[in-house]
């Protein structure tokens, strides 16, 4: 059943009023007028990583939410989170923390987080029986202990429809939550990246399926020659006056050629704008596929002598491996090893090199003033594992309305 059909069948809730509020919050979020509102909801972020979701729910949403507690098991993630949001992210295994005798959690309005996704990822060949597929249990334990009225769980698209998805919904419904999930594309919300993630939203008051997913703010110009119109001038898939998808050029086109191979003692954005030292063979491979959109198959056609034998044997699949980005499209999914072209479509559109840490952070929609702490490998993991803040901000708009319209 579509959102419109659901709206027509649910008379007690004024869907038109909600969507008008939705638009009002989006506009006020972008012009910063929400900073003057007194009501801010208390936020807990679990499996927080660097804090991409917290950034979206706090600063990028117009400060609708105030983070009060967070947790991650990676020391550098905790240092990064605390450097940006205040010293309340706790280091440690979540199961050990909640099972300790002296553990107590403050009351919160909403709990967000992305339990490690490797247990569901198609890249994990041993995902069956992976214990990380059960980390939603301590997540919901914190939801219950904090008396949160809304929760948002983020993961890879493969979570939806899985056995664990059914378990999550069953346990959450027994806790008194109405639950709904969907897959969102980050590019539809202003992120210059074609990244898809699953979100499960639970609310104790209003059925989230009426309002989730959030209406799209951006559209694919290859799909729509003109901005898509919204249904009945009131209800639709898109916000009024959506913009075109943000592109790689929008995000990184102003950056100079990177210098060096290490984190630089320079102000942002140049601090994380460094390169690598490719081997002569790697550099020749880059030069053999100079045009936007080329990939390993083009390398084999143009320079078979430079093509690894494993790629020659594998004639199908993996079209993004050793691929070059397009200037005027969003990037492909930024993962933790974006600095290795053999791992995906990570070659710069014009220069013979993979993208830099700063370029990856911008493609994830992190502002240059966000502080990353750690060695370059750890910072790459923080960037690649993060929920794009702009995507999180649009989810935050829906959560805010679930809390205020109850």
Q: What is the pLDDT of residue 205?
A: 93
Residue position matching structure tokens 């939806």: 160
Is residue 191 scored above 70 in pLDDT? yes
Q: Is residue 14 scored above 70 in pLDDT? A: no
Average pLDDT, the chain: 90
Q: 164 Cβ partners below 8 Å, 6+ apart?
A: 120, 133, 134, 136
Which tens digits make up the pLDDT trace of 228-244? 876 554 567 899 889 99
* Dist. CA 190–CA 390, nearest whole Å: 7
Percent of the chain's residues with pLDDT above 70: 89
pLDDT digits (tens, 9 = 90+) for 317-337: 777 899 999 999 999 999 999
2 has a pLDDT exceeding 60: no
Would you tell me the crossing angle of helices 75-85 and 376-385 to the nearest 10 degrees?
70
Average pLDDT over residues 210-235: 83
Which residues carry out catalysis? 117
Pairing of β 89-91 and β 110-113? unpaired
| Percentage with pLDDT > 90 across the chain | 74
In this prediction, residue 3 has a pLDDT band, given cuts at 50, 70 and 90, of very low
**Beta strands 150-155 and 89-91, pairing class:** unpaired
pLDDT at 315: 76
Q: What is the DSSP letter of 230?
A: P
Q: Are strands 110-113 and 150-155 parallel, antiparallel or unpaired?
A: parallel
pLDDT of res. 17: 74
**Residue-level pLDDT at 371:** 98
Q: How does DSSP classify residue 128?
A: T
Parallel/antiparallel/unpaired status of strands 65-72 and 196-203? unpaired
pLDDT tens sequence across 94-107: 999 999 988 999 99
Helices (H) and strands (E) in the chain, counts: 14, 9
Supply the pLDDT for residue 37.
Answer: 63
Summarize the confidence of residues 259-286 as an average pLDDT: 97
What pLDDT is recorded for position 314? Answer: 79
Query: Residue 298 pLDDT more than 50?
Result: yes
Amino acid 38: pLDDT: 60
Domains of the chain in sequence order: 3-244+388-404 (3.40.50.150), 250-385 (3.90.120)
Q: Is 134 left (phi over 0), alpha (psi -120 to 50) or beta?
A: alpha
**SS3 assignment, position 202:** strand
Given pLDDT bands bounded at 50, 70 and 90, which one contains residue 39? confident
pLDDT of residue 97: 94
Whole-number pLDDT of residue 123: 47
pTM given for the model: 0.91
Whole-angstrom distance, CA of residue 106 vs CA of residue 53: 19
CA-CA distance, 164 to 43, in Å (whole number)? 25
């Amino acid at each position: 059943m579509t959102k419109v059909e659901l709206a027509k069948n649910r008379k007690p809730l004024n869907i038109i009023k909600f969507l008008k509020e939705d638009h009002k919050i989006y506009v006020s979020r972008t012009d910063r007028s929400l900073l003057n509102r007194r009501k801010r909801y208390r936020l807990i972020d679990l499996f927080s990583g660097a804090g991409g979701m917290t950034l979206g729910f706090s600063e990028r949403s117009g400060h609708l939410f105030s983070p009060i507690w967070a947790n991650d098991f990676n020391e550098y993630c905790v240092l990064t989170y605390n450097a940006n949001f205040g010293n309340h992210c706790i280091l440690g295994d979540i199961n050990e923390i909640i099972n300790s005798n002296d553990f107590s959690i403050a009351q919160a309005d909403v709990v967000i987080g992305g339990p490690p996704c490797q247990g569901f990822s198609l890249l994990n060949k041993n995902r069956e029986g992976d214990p990380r597929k059960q980390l939603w249990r301590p997540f919901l334990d914190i939801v219950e202990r904090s008396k949160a009225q809304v929760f948002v769980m983020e993961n890879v698209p493969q979570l939806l429809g899985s056995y664990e998805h059914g378990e999550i919904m069953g346990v959450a419904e027994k806790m008194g939550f109405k639950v709904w999930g969907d897959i969102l594309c980050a590019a539809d919300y202003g992120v210059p990246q074609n990244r898809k993630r699953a979100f499960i939203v639970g609310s104790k008051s209003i059925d989230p399926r009426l309002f989730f997913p959030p209406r799209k703010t951006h559209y694919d110009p290859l799909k729509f020659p003109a901005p898509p119109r919204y249904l009945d001038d009131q209800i639709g898939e898109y916000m009024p006056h959506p913009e075109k998808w943000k592109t790689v050029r929008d995000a990184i086109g102003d950056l100079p050629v990177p210098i060096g191979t290490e984190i630089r003692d320079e102000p942002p954005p140049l601090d994380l704008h460094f390169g690598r030292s490719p081997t002569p063979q790697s550099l020749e491979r880059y030069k053999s596929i100079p045009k936007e959109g080329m990939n390993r198959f083009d390398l084999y056609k143009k320079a078979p002598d430079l093509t690894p034998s494993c790629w020659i044997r594998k004639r199908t699949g993996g079209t993004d491996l050793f691929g070059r980005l397009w200037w005027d499209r969003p990037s492909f999914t930024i993962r933790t090893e974006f600095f290795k072209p053999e791992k995906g479509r990570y070659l710069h559109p014009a220069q013979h090199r993979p993208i830099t840490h700063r370029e990856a952070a911008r493609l994830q929609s992190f502002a240059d003033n966000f502080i990353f702490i750690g060695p370059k490998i750890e910072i790459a993991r923080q960037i690649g594992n993060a929920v794009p803040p702009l995507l999180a901000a649009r989810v935050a708009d829906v959560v805010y309305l679930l809390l205020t319209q109850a």
